[in-house]
Amino acid sequence: MASAYTVDYARLLSRNAESQRMDYFIVGVANDNPSFKPPVRGAYLFCGQYPDRVQVSMWHILKCNSFLPKQQYLIVQQPVSGPGYLTRALRGLLAEWLACPSTTPTTQVRILQFLQTIWTKQYMDEPTKTYNVMLLGNVLHETRRRSLLNCVVLCSVEASRQCDSLNYCKSSGLCQLNSHKYGYQRTSIQIVNDDTCRWVLPSYP
């Protein structure tokens, strides 16, 4: 991209063979030109990671962390556990992304409506199809809140201070603000016994 933009989502179409090279692919953003400074995992801003294996010859959409600052380059990589040869998997790859300016409503009512709209992405564990999942080991701040919306407001206020997602348990009111600007380990995503707990990520509608 010639200018810096806020990326809403990335949509990638896998090849008709060797699609496993794109399993759990990572998307990031940066201002450094990859041609001159090759991207290194953990050194660029983390847009998101696809939560499952990819399907052959299908589109795969990944919503990005909407709190990231505007950047110029989009990065696609395998996770550390990937089999390698991603460049071959990406040969002939069709990809698109939606880039848009970031706007924030100014009145309190509009802010609440905005928050209710964008905080709708509850992580689901694909193999078990369950939502009682939490991101562990990335907690920036822990407190108690009466509702998910109150926890969302707190994370949104703290967004400029590294809050990227949250864990919320309705049964106890547990509100954990997570920080993972440069990524997280997939082993940190854990199914918990409390079925009222959710790992919630922000995304544009």
Model pTM score: 0.60
Residue 136 carries which side chain, given as an amino acid letter? L
* One domain for residues 197 and 148: yes
Domain-ending residue, one of 83, 100, 117: 100
* One domain for residues 13 and 90: yes
pLDDT confidence of residue 34: 78
pLDDT confidence of residue 118: 52
Is residue 64, in this structure, part of any structural domain at all? yes
Give the distance from CA 64 to its chain's centroid. Answer: 5
pLDDT confidence of residue 98: 47
- Within 8 A by CB and 6+ apart from 48, the residues are 26, 27, 62, 63, 64, 65, 201
Q: Which range of residues forms the domain containing residue 80?
A: 6-100
pLDDT confidence of residue 176: 95
**Cβ contact 31:71 at 8 Å:** yes
pLDDT confidence of residue 120: 53
* One domain for residues 114 and 161: yes
Domain-ending residue, one of 100, 122, 157: 100
- How far apart (Å, rounded) are the C-alpha atoms in residues 167 and 139? 9
Below-70 pLDDT ranges, the chain: 1-2, 16, 66, 86-121, 158-161, 202-205
pLDDT confidence of residue 194: 94
Is residue 1, in this structure, part of any structural domain at all? no
**pLDDT for 18-28, tens place per residue?**
778 888 888 88
pLDDT confidence of residue 156: 77
* One domain for residues 81 and 115: no
* One domain for residues 115 and 75: no
Closest CA to 188 of 179, 4, 196: 179
Q: How many helices (H) and strands (E) does the chain have?
A: 3, 13
Domain-ending residue, one of 69, 100, 131: 100
Total tally of structural domains belonging to the chain: 2
* One domain for residues 117 and 44: no
**pLDDT for 76-94, tens place per residue?**
888 877 777 765 444 444 4
